[in-house]
């Protein structure tokens, strides 16, 4: 059963509170494709736009990003290192079980946390955070659990879509608070 989608006003309100945006990898930061060479070496395709979203979140609105994935590959670690993502959790089968530890350590609340995922293993964590999203091509399970279904597909700017929603909401809130 799908949950009721949020109004644009409620999305902006929730997005303005975000301090940490967590993401899945396959199907969000990648296009779900996995490539193997004759030697069995794995490759993944990442969107440069999503990387810029990580940077813009950090520089414009001081929002940290993190990765929680079932994957345990050097490729994911390398991408996180390139993007200066230090909140990296590899090999996590039940993502919802790690959220409390992250929030306690960072001293933030669930309302200050967002997550973007695309499949059944993301649904439980999506139910726990203040703002959840999924790519346009996510499974129906993820779409039903998400507060927002973003415009782009996984690996093609889906993370960036959510990043820009958060940036816009936080900048709008900041502008309202500043004296004129």
| Domain residue ranges of the chain, discontinuous segments joined by + | 8-173
Mean confidence (pLDDT) of the chain: 93
Residue 177: pLDDT over 80: no
With 0-12 CB in 10 A as exposed, 13-18 as middle and 19+ as buried, what is 157? buried
Residue 179: band (very low, low, confident or very high) from pLDDT cuts 50, 70, 90: low
Rg (CA), the chain: 16
Q: How crowded is residue 64: how many other Cβ atoms within 10 Å of its Cβ?
A: 18
36: buried, middle or exposed (CB in 10 Å: 19+, 13-18, 0-12)?
exposed
For the segment 92-100, the average pLDDT, to the nearest whole number, is: 94
124: Cβ–Cβ under 8 A, 6 or more apart, which residues? Answer: 94, 95, 96
For residue 126, give every residue at least 6 positions away whose Cβ sits within 8 Å of its Cβ, in sequence order, or none.
115, 117, 132, 134, 142, 145, 146
Does the domain at 8-173 match CATH 3.30.470.20? Answer given as no
Widest Cα–Cα separation across the chain: 63
pLDDT digits (tens, 9 = 90+) for 38-93: 887 788 899 999 999 999 999 999 999 999 999 988 999 999 999 999 999 999 99
Q: What DSSP element (H or E) covers 46?
A: none
pLDDT attached to residue 144? 97
Pull the structure tokens for residue 33: 């494709």
Between the CA of residue 127 and those of 15, 99, 106, 120, 146, what are the distances in Å? 16, 11, 20, 12, 8
């Amino acid at each position: 059963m799908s949950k009721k989608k949020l109004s644009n006003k409620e999305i902006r309100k929730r997005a303005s509170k975000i301090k940490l945006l967590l993401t899945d990898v396959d199907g969000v930061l990648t296009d779900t494709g996995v490539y193997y060479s004759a030697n069995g070496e794995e490759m993944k395709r990442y969107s440069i736009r999503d990387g810029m979203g990580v940077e813009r979140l950090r520089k414009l609105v001081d929002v940290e990003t993190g990765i929680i994935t079932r994957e345990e590959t050097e490729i994911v670690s390398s991408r996180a290192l390139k993007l200066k993502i230090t909140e990296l959790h590899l090999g996590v089968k039940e993502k919802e079980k790690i959220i409390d530890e992250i929030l306690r350590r960072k001293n933030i609340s669930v309302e200050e946390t967002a997550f973007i995922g695309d499949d059944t293993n993301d649904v439980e964590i999506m139910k726990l955070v203040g703002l959840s999203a999924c790519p346009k091509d996510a499974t129906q399970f993820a779409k039903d659990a998400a507060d927002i279904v973003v415009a782009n597909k996984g690996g093609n700017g889906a993370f960036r879509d959510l990043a820009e929603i958060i940036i816009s909401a936080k900048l709008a809130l900041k502008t309202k608070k500043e004296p004129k």
